[in-house]
């Protein structure tokens, strides 16, 4: 069963969202009810950081008001309640992505999750060389001659940790190139991913191109080669149904602040059998079984990778955010945002001097659009839009190699979420249409 449904399938399966419902949803987001430069705020930067509904804000506040205590470390009433709330949140997030409870690890964000994984893999080589750990650990150790494969569209968070892992282990980093329309060159992917590939890491949905990659096809190529498959789900987990088992990935990461939750919280998913043999990355309290003055033995996952005091209130708030998305319906959210994305792209393509990155109008994409305005720097475009109350992202969006491949240094990106209306998009398009005349480009 496909994880990303087609619009026709969604139309039959669930009632569509409309502007009237979205306006009701907006009432849950207090930050959206304000003027910016004398104009009603149009927030189109959720691809960077989303806003928080009242239920999420209240969940974190309620923890501090009613049960603030360290988890896993006390027998008193508040500590027990805090631990129960913390672990209930873990179960909520496991259910949200179709994982098991023990396969769900708290991190500060997706970047930390990817660094955790890359350092655990390099530690695997150290442990294996010293005869430490499970026999299966040797199969995870990277060495010269091995290859790590990423794609040309990766966010720096899913590129630099693998560059550094290659440096530490002597492995070679390779990448799957993109075509001019932004799609992955799957013909080259099949040639690049091979017997030497030990890790295949790629994004589910590009934060610049808006394109949704063929996860199951890539995962099959990786597993056929015997590689670990790592998914960056930062731009998919907040916006469309995600089932890590159906996608058949070994690891996945995403961040809370992109899916209605606070900053400082994220999730690393990993198959239990892999997590339990990987060495830890951070060490200290709460992740051990026995400690002597000479050595320590470590708990299985998830505690194995959660040293020290945890992000308790943020985890509880992230679970509240997941519940909000689930109750609204991720199928419905995905369909609404896809419609907004199509509206953005079609409108931008109709404005002279605008180049839109990624799939053309009518082709599948998530609800974001990055674009270049001929003769006007992206930072100037962003300031012009801000003067009209419209918040967008400008720069290289932590994807310099991708921009370089497309002959650009920076772009402007508008990204929608479940609280955006068609009027928001139309206000954005009307403002963009006036950029070149304003700057006399």
CB 407 within 8 A of CB 421: no
Dihedral, CA of residue 322, residue 274, residue 248 and residue 206, to nearest 10:
60
Q: Output the 3-class SS for the chain.
A: CCCCCCHHHHHHHCCCCCHHHHHHHHCCCHHHCCEECCEECEECECCCCCCCCHHHHHHHHHHHHHCCCCCCCCCCHHHHHHHHHHHHHHHHHHHHHCCCHHHEEEECCHHHHHHHHHHHHHHHHHHHHCCCCCHHHHHHCCCCCCEEEEECCCCHHHCHHHHHHHHHHCCEEEEECECCCCCECHHHHHHHCCCCEEEEEEECECCCCCCECCHHHHHHHHHHCCCEEEEECCCCCCCCCCCHHHHCCCEEEEEHHHCCCCCCCEEEEECHHHHCCCCCCCCCCCCEEEECCCCEEECCCCHHHCCCCCCHHHHHHHHHHHHHHHHHCHHHHHHHHHHHHHHHHHHHHCCCCEEECCCCCCCCCCCEEEEEECCECHHHHHHHHHCCCEECEEECCCCHHHHHHCCCCCEEEEECCCCCCHHHHHHHHHHHHCHHHHCCC
Residue 47 in tokens: 């691809």
Dihedral, CA of residue 416, residue 270, residue 300 and residue 130, to nearest 10:
-130
Residue 338 in tokens: 């896809």
288, 299, 398, 408: the active-site residue: 398
The answer, yes or no, to whether the previous bond of 302 is cis (omega within 30 of 0) is: yes
Give residue for tokens 């492995």.
Answer: 171
Residue 398 is among the residues annotated as catalytic for this protein: yes
Q: Which residues are catalytic?
A: 398
């Amino acid at each position: 069963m496909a994880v990303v449904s087609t619009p026709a399938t969604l139309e039959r399966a669930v009632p569509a969202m409309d502007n009237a419902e979205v306006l009701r949803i907006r009432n849950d987001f207090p930050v959206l009810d304000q003027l910016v430069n004398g104009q009603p705020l149009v927030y189109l930067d959720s691809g960077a950081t989303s806003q928080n509904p009242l239920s999420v804000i209240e969940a974190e506040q309620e923890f501090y008001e009613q049960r603030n205590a360290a988890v896993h470390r006390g027998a008193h009433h508040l500590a027990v309640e805090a631990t129960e709330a913390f672990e209930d949140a873990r179960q909520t997030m496991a259910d949200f992505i179709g994982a098991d409870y023990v396969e769900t690890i708290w991190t500060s964000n997706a970047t930390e999750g990817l660094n955790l994984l890359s350092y655990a893999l390099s530690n695997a080589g150290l442990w294996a060389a010293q005869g430490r750990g499970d026999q299966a650990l040797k199969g995870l150790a990277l060495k010269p001659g091995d290859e790590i494969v990423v794609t040309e569209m990766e966010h720096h968070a899913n590129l630099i940790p693998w560059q550094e892992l290659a440096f530490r282990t002597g492995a070679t980093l390779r990448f799957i190139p993109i075509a001019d329309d932004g799609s992955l060159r799957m013909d080259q992917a099949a040639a690049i991913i091979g017997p030497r590939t030990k890790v295949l890491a790629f994004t589910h949905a590009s934060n610049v191109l808006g394109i949704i990659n063929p996860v199951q096809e890539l995962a099959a190529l990786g597993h056929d080669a015997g590689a670990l498959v790592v998914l960056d789900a930062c731009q998919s987990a907040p916006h469309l149904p995600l089932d890590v088992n159906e996608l058949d990935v070994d690891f996945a990461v995403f961040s809370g602040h992109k899916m209605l939750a606070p900053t400082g919280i994220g999730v690393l998913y990993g198959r239990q059998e892999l997590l339990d043999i990987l060495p830890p990355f951070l060490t200290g309290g709460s992740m051990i079984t026995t400690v002597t003055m000479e050595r320590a033995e470590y708990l299985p996952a998830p505690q194995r990778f959660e040293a020290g005091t945890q992000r308790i209130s943020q985890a509880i708030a992230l679970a509240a955010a997941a519940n909000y998305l689930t109750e609204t319906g991720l199928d419905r959210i995905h369909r609404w945002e896809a419609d907004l994305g199509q509206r953005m792209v079609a409108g931008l393509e109709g404005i002279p001097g605008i180049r839109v990155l990624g799939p053309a109008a009518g082709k599948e994409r998530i609800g974001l659009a990055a674009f270049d305005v001929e003769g006007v720097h992206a930072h100037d475009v962003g300031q012009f839009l801000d003067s009209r109350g419209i918040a967008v992202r400008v720069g290289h969006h932590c994807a310099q190699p991708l921009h370089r491949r497309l002959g650009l240094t920076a772009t402007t990106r508008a990204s929608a979420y479940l609280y955006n209306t068609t009027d928001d998009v139309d206000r954005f398009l009307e403002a963009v249409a006036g950029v070149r005349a304003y700057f006399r480009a």
